[in-house]
Each structure stands twice: as C-alpha cells, then as structure tokens.
Structure 1
C-alpha cells in the first residue's frame, strides 16, 4: 500500500515531509537534475565538504516555507486589521490551496540554475536571461503543467511562478497583497526561507559556525504586519534578536565564505573555461538543452580539456584540475580607498600593463544593503521599524571586496613590483581625476 506522505532525512531539518503530489515534482526531470548542481559551485576545492547540491536545499526551502505559513496564518497571530486586508486568511479552502502553491513554489524555486549555480550566470547567459527566468519557463512547461493539473484542486502554474520568483523577478505579473506576502516567505529580503536554508546548510557542510542562528525562535515569532506599503512579513519584539542573528549570519558568511578570495578565483577560472567551451560563449536557453547540462558534463569537459592543449578552455581547465589558481596580489585596503576610491582598478590596470592582461584578474563586488527596515510588533501593540529598535541592524556593514590576482609563477615578482610602486599607482589615478 502506497503512503500518502513521505519522509526524507535531512541534516538541517531532521525530516522533510512531502505528500504524493509533491513527490511527483521531486521525481520530475527538472528537479532530479538538481542532484547534479552544486550549491556553492567549486567551493569544495577550498572547503572539501561543500559538496551539497541544489536538490537538498530546495527540499529544505519547502520544509521551512510550510512552517512559516503555519505560523503566520495561525488565527491567534492575526489581527483584525490584517484579516480585513487579507480576506484569504478567513477562507479555509483558499488557505489550503495557497499552502500547496507555496510549497510547490519553494520546491521549484531553483530549477533554472545553470551548472555550478551562480558562478557564471551573469556573464554567460544571453541578454535578459537569468536563472529565475529559466525557472519560470520550467514551471510553465507542459511537463510540469501535467503535474499541476493532476492536483486536486488543480494548481495554476502562474500562481506557482509568482511565489517562486516574487515581484522583483516577475515584474510583468500583477501581485495581490496576499500573493506578495506569500512570495516574501520564499524570496523576501529579510525573512525569505531560501536564505534561511542556504545559510544553515552551507554553514553545516563547510564546517563553520558563521551561518547558524536560532531559526526556530525566528520562525515562531514571524507575523504578517501592516506597513505603509501594505501587509508584510515582520517579527514580534521577542524575535528581534533572532532576526539580528540572521542578518549577522549573512554578513559573516559573505565575508568569511562566499567572498573568500580563493573561492572567488575558482569562479573566475570556471567562467574563463565556459566562455571558450560553450558554443558561442553562452549558455543555451532552450529548455531541453538546459535540462541536459549539469555540473557532471562540465566537469567531464574540464578534465578532458585539461589533458589536451588543443581543446577549448585548456588553460583554465588545467589550472582548475591542478589547483594552480591565480594568486592574490592586492586586496582592498581602507587607507588606499581614502586616497583613491578606485584603488583596485588602478592596481589591476597597472599590473595588466606590466605583466600582460592574460596574467591578471580582478574581482570587485559590493553587496546590496541588507533589508533591515522590516516591521516589528512591539509589546505595547505598536508597529515600529526594526532600525528604530536595533542598533545592530542600524549599523550593519555592507560587504565590499576588491581582489587583484596574478599568475602564480609571477606572484613573487609582482609583489615586489607592487611594494615598490604602490603609492604611485594608487595616487596617480586620483591625481588624474
């Protein structure tokens, strides 16, 4: 006798539970492909245990989305004002429908990821495409519509797209206040469960404590609260410290893991390889071709190219396979930025002129400011901005990195050259401006 519910063991959430309709999504081609897409690209070359995949992350996001939905739709947690703005909260049939849509959207939210996830997405997709758009195309595909239509009652594919992408990525779709709140559960800047799961999961597999926070307490204190722009996810005053911990965890994971200079240079080498190996230097957006390409095919091509100098991408592939990555020559320094805000660009340009453009790489990135203006339900019933209650959030720093790398056999010479010329290089551009 087949079971109506299924349990999957998980190192983060202990068990992930799903019903038979959700199991059909799990067994689908687009979802099974995620077993072969690394969550953190080639981070495992630096942190050996970081071999986890988008597959288990997506299961975790579904599990957390269901938990948050149960908390924020609990009648004891809903004010009369919110109930008037969101009539769906008083309609059991609609609540059941939207819970199913939410869990399916959470399960599908990463289906469009390219091989090695974010590593090469921005540069190697055609103009106007990203993994969210590919996710949308997959959810709307005939293959997935057959699953949505077989559910009782049938699920509208467009509703799943809305919750999986949110208003920012599906800006051509009209969101009701209810749909906007539900999409926030998955992809929200402050309390999106996508972020909650990847911080906890990445931290666990890498072997660091930076990404851990009390997500149990945070979820238990989440509420739908009124704001000037409509209902939004917020938190009770008692959960504010857990919210602070979430945003601090994000900051520390970015500084200590996601922007580790060695992790970043492997992303650059991977992009170098793909730009030469892919037909036309771009990923194909045809769904069949997308679904047939995973990390496995790319890794096989990298190993093959590393052994044959005539293969496209040989140089980058050889460096990846032999761990002969470019070495850091320069790192952003506050004193340099005071003299010249574009100090990294100046060093990179001078190094390219001295050692040749093929022997130098630069990686510069400034993180978007984290969302800290979420509403907080104070103990006296007032709704306040989190920034007014939390000095931690008010002064949360933004991650900025600027690395210049040099070919490893040139590193010693380049370091000596930079020591002798650093002041001139960084000061010259400032004078010219």
Structure 2
C-alpha cells in the first residue's frame, strides 16, 4: 500500500506495517500532537505522532536496504529489515496526551517517583496491539517468526544503554548484528532515524528551514567493527554534517519545543490535568476504572487516552473538584496564560536549581511586604529548569561516533575536532531557569 507523506512523498509499506497501522492502538496516534503545547504558538505544528511513526518506519527501511545492498557480508535479511521497520512504526505507541508534556510534566507530579517511561509504555502497547488484533498468524504468513521477532522488536524500541553493558544483553539477534539496535533508538551516539524524521517533519510544519539532509548521511553510512562490535559508522567527510545534525536538534528545542509561551501553556494543561485527575474515569480491562494518571497501568484504558481529554475536561459536568481544571483550560482558550517573569542561564544547574526554587518564597515575602493585594502564595509560581544540548548533555556528541576513510572503508576511528573545523562549539549544554506566575 502507498501512503502520501507530507515530508517523504509517496511511501510503499509492507502489508504487516499496514496491518499494524489499521488497528485502534495505532490509530490513537492520530490524536496525539507531536509537539504538544507548541501547537498553540505555531499554528502549523498540527502534525501528530501517527505520521511521524510512519516516517520513522520508512527511513529505517531506507537505511537498512542501503546497508544491505552495499555490504552483503552483513547478512541482513528481510526479517531483519521488517522487524526494524515495525520497531520504528511502533516506537511511539506509548506516548500520552500532548506527547512529552504527559511523561515529563504530568506523570512526575501526579505519581512522584513512579518508574514509568513512554518507551516502556510503547513496549506494553505493542504487546497489547499484537494480542488484541491477533497478528501472530498474519506475521507468520509474511515471513516473521513471532517467538523470536516480537521480543526483538521490543528490544529495538528501547535498547539498554551500551555504556553499561559487559555481556550481550539481547535475545532477538546475536552480537554480530548489534548495528540493528542503532537504527531506531541509538543509545550509543543518538544518531537514529527517529531524529531524522522529526527534524524534517517538525521544521516543515513549524515553517522553518531544516538544514540537515539525512538522505546524504544514509549514502555514507557503513557498518564497521569497532571494539569487537559491529557499529554504524560514517565517512570522515560527514563529520561537519553530523555536528550540523546535533545543532539542528538544539535549534528545534530552543526555538520551538522549549518556547517560553509553549511551556507556559503546557504547565497550564498539566495543572488542569492534575485538578481533573480523579474526576476523569476511563474504563480498562474487565471493566476496571482508571484515572488520567493510572490509565498508564492498563493498555485497554490507555488506548482511550489522547489529546481529546482536553475537551473532555472542558465539557465535563461541573463539580467542586474538576471546576478548577476547567477554569485553567478556559484561560488557555482565552490566552490568559501563566506569565513568564524572566529567565537566566545557570552554569551549575544540578546544584543551583534547588536554591532557585526557594526564590519564589522570597518573591512572595517581598510582595506581601509591599502590600500586594493579590495575596500571592508560593504555589502561584513555577520554576522551570530547561536543559538544551546537542543530545549528549555536556559531551561532544561526535566522541561516540566512528568514521571510515574512502581508501580504508572497513576501518573506523575517532575523528579529531581539528579535522572537522576550527570553528566548533566549546560547550554543548546550557541550562535555562524560567520563572512563571500563575496569576
């Protein structure tokens, strides 16, 4: 089947991918905004996790087919390609309403200390999708071996951090195919098709120019043995292109994802969700009822949880508890937003953030001393810590990438900064601390 994509053009997808797309669990992604609250600042950013996931599956196939054609000795078979594409397609199944707002802002406040991530939820939702739609037989008929390939696909969605591994941790594929685990979610150096698609897609819908060309990088990708493990490496002349890729990520977050007004709106939606949490009931497996924050524990309930909960709260019958949440969302619609009082750059964020959270108490004290008539309280302030980087916190992102030369394509080594350019960043991370007032 052919899909017409706004970024990649006409895409032809394998029947198994189409079968997965045509399920309630995947169709749910049509109603989850890719950029969350950023849509309220950039009207063009109306794209959803649905189309992004299809784009990731497409790019995963393009990268692996290129490697398969160039390096037949890797023994990449169609099962490998299809499994990686399925992982790309399903890697975001676990996102909640308004994407990262849900997992980074709402859940940590609604369930402090709870060990949960959208990646883990994606694995759980994938299991639920396969079981609920009885896909095992269909997968077998199209060449997959579910007993081996389904665990492999889940491993691809969220691989462990390679730096902490001594023994080979995976069961889906042997160590000689380690490079397959770097396509969808690359824990080694953060270069993967997930980023390539959202760079292109987010910039397109934001109305900004994307200066990174993933298709060129794919042409210069090659698998080499590094420290007794097969890794995806790149031609030495692509070093600057990769620095540009990480800079592109930084710009996207700086200009859009962490826009101060977008963040303000996401804090408001988060507060509304917290107020409405116990009042929105979602039916799960065997008729058991869940709330906004507990629906993540039941995939039947979680399938029903999308951005539409915004309207669900607004239209909910009034009662004492939910009314405050409705008022906050009504303020969003009327553009009566939490005000950003200011921001500054912190050099030692991890140590300083606790100190600056106490500033709101000081501000309250000053306001009261000055005869403030609004009776501001500490809970009327938000202190938001924002970390912007090149993908590897304060590290040079190229340190974990290996490069080969044209005359020796099977040997990959580190690339010295001076061999790329004399005009490269000295620092790769910054922390911004913003202050918002809710009143």
Aligned position for 2:380? 359
Aligned position for 1:372? 398
Aligned position for 1:227? 226
Native 8 Å contact 1:352 1:360 kept in 2: no
Aligned position for 2:185? 187
Aligned position for 1:108? 90
- The aligned length equals 387
Native 8 Å contact 2:39 2:46 kept in 1: yes
> What pairs with 1:199-218 in structure 2 (closer than 5 Å)?
199-209=199-209, 211-218=210-217
Q: CA deviation at 1:336?
A: 11
Aligned position for 1:239? 238
SS state of the match for residue 264, structure 1? helix
1:282 to 293, 303, 316: 293
Aligned position for 1:160? 153
Q: Does 1:27 align with 2:22?
A: yes
Distance 1:138 1:333 in 2: 39
Aligned position for 1:62? 57
- Comparing 105-114 and 321-330, the one that deviates more: 321-330
Residues 92-151 of structure 1 deviation map (CA, whole Å, 9 limit, x = unaligned): xx6111011011111111111111111021441751221111111122231254353443
Distance 1:309 1:317 in 2: 16
SS state of the match for residue 114, structure 1? coil
SS state of the match for residue 105, structure 1? helix
Q: Over aligned residues, Cα RMSD in angstroms?
A: 3.0
Aligned position for 2:282? none
Distance 1:282 1:341 in 2: 26
SS state of the match for residue 16, structure 1? strand
1:16 to 6, 11, 18: 11
Distance 2:26 2:117 in 1: 18
Give unmatched runs, 5+ long, in structure 2.
279-290, 368-375
SS state of the match for residue 331, structure 1? strand
Q: Does 1:324 align with 2:336?
A: yes
Distance 2:347 2:425 in 1: 24
1:143 to 132, 139, 147: 132
Distance 2:96 2:228 in 1: 34
Q: CA deviation at 1:22?
A: 1.4
CA separation of 1:350 and 1:73: change in aligned 2, threshold 3 A: farther
Aligned position for 2:322? 311
Q: CA deviation at 1:394?
A: 6.2
Aligned position for 2:432? 401
Native 8 Å contact 2:60 2:88 kept in 1: yes
Distance 2:85 2:432 in 1: 36
Q: CA deviation at 1:158?
A: 0.5
2:81 to 99, 103, 115: 99
Q: CA deviation at 1:317?
A: 1.7
Q: CA deviation at 1:308?
A: 7.7
Distance 2:330 2:379 in 1: 15
SS state of the match for residue 167, structure 1? coil
Aligned position for 1:46? 41
Aligned position for 1:416? none
Q: CA deviation at 1:375?
A: 0.4
Native 8 Å contact 2:382 2:437 kept in 1: yes
CA separation of 1:396 and 1:57: change in aligned 2, threshold 3 A: farther
Residues 13-48 of structure 1 deviation map (CA, whole Å, 9 limit, x = unaligned): 112210222110110111111111110112111101
SS state of the match for residue 4, structure 2? strand
SS state of the match for residue 2, structure 2? strand
Distance 1:398 1:336 in 2: 11
CA separation of 1:56 and 1:387: change in aligned 2, threshold 3 A: farther
CA separation of 1:206 and 1:228: change in aligned 2, threshold 3 A: same
CA separation of 1:148 and 1:114: change in aligned 2, threshold 3 A: farther
- Normalising by structure 1, we get a TM-score of 0.81
Distance 1:67 1:15 in 2: 13
CA separation of 1:12 and 1:183: change in aligned 2, threshold 3 A: same
- Normalising by structure 2, we get a TM-score of 0.80
Give unmatched runs, 5+ long, in structure 1.
1-5, 84-88, 409-433
Native 8 Å contact 2:178 2:229 kept in 1: no
Native 8 Å contact 1:226 1:232 kept in 2: yes
CA separation of 1:352 and 1:267: change in aligned 2, threshold 3 A: farther
Distance 1:401 1:201 in 2: 26
- Comparing 64-73 and 146-155, the one that deviates more: 146-155
Native 8 Å contact 1:120 1:267 kept in 2: no
Distance 1:306 1:266 in 2: 23
Distance 1:120 1:153 in 2: 34
